[in-house]
Amino acid sequence: MFFESEGLDHQGFCFRPPSEAYSILFQATLGCSHNKCTFCNAFKYKRFAIKDMSIWEKDMAFAEKHCTRQKRLFVMDGDALIMPMRKWEWLLTNIRERLPWVERVATYGNAKGVALKSDEDLVRLRDMGLSLIYYGIESGHPDVLKDIRKGATPEKLVEQARRLKQAGFALSVTVILGLAGKDKSCAHAVETGRVLSAVDPEYVGALSLMVAEDAPIYERLRSGELILPEGVDFVRELGLMFANTHLSNGWLMANHASNYLTIRAHLPEDREPAMQRIAAALNGTISLRDEWMRAL
């Protein structure tokens, strides 16, 4: 689906993190350069491209005139961090000079895109105003990462995340409950907690797997090769991941609409109350979200 509005020239469906709901959505690229993750159908119908600078200029002019109330800007699409430095330098310079009220610039990034930037490049991006990277880890288990065609090992995910942190970026990391199915649920939870602890991000967002029929992983589900956990099993997996995650000063949240249980905990101080809430859900004291209320 493609559309063109009177305002920013957004093409196709636009995906952004929940926390960017009120941000300026600047679509610098189309699609995702990797676009192979089996659980994801978000960019299946887009071929990756960097949009023409004439479109960037038009969108910047629109934002300059009409988006003066938005204090945040999110650069789309799927992994815009992979853009060459000269593109980022133009974009960040124009944001700083023409949208001076913008207080935070963020984007999606993956290990491949980070690896293509030198340490000096990353520091320059941070100094020019890019401050938050949404970084999909999904799982810390090597077999699960291979199954979902993530294109990175746990070691690579940790290494590139640490490079971002060393450059001064805040990290918002995404993990997905249920991604390993029933068979590897416990191992997926433990290894994901281990990787999160090694990265030590400022934010962790846990989602629960919901499979769209046009996502590649759907065939594994349909054939019975992948068996998803039940609702309470998702919560048990969350508890195990939580127990193995140790952050020095970060938020661990499972407040996405896909989750059966809402958790919002600042670690380390909120560990015990959060674990008690998970235990209450497992013993039935707290009700889980009804299936019809879950959403992507």
Encode 12-47: b = buried (16+ Cβ within 10 Å), e = exposed: beebbbebbeebbbbbbbbbbbbbebbbbbbbeebe
- Under 8 Å between Cβ of 133 and 168: no
**Last residue of some domain: 87, 109, 131?**
109
The two tokens of residue 211 are 């499979």
Q: Is residue 114 part of a domain?
A: no
User: Do 171 and 94 share a structural domain?
Assistant: no
What's the pLDDT at 45?
85
What's the pLDDT at 161?
98
Q: Is residue 132 part of a domain?
A: no
User: Do 289 and 171 share a structural domain?
Assistant: yes
Q: Parallel, antiparallel, or unpaired: how do β-strands 130-138 and 104-109 relate?
A: parallel
Q: Parallel, antiparallel, or unpaired: how do β-strands 250-253 and 264-267 relate?
A: antiparallel
Q: Is residue 211 part of a domain?
A: yes
What's the pLDDT at 5?
40
**Last residue of some domain: 109, 144, 160?**
109
Q: Is residue 135 part of a domain?
A: no
What's the pLDDT at 7?
55
State the total domains in the chain.
2
What's the pLDDT at 14?
81
What's the pLDDT at 13?
79
User: Do 272 and 202 share a structural domain?
Assistant: yes
User: Do 266 and 214 share a structural domain?
Assistant: yes
Q: Which CATH number does the domain housing residue 284 bear?
A: 3.30.750
End-to-end CA distance of the chain: 18
Question: Structure pTM?
Answer: 0.94
Q: Give the integer Cα–Cα distance in Å for 270 and 246.
A: 11
| DSSP codes joined into one string, 143-157 | HHHHHTT-S--HHHH
**Residues in the chain, pLDDT under 70:** 1-8
Domain extent, residue 5, equals: 1-109
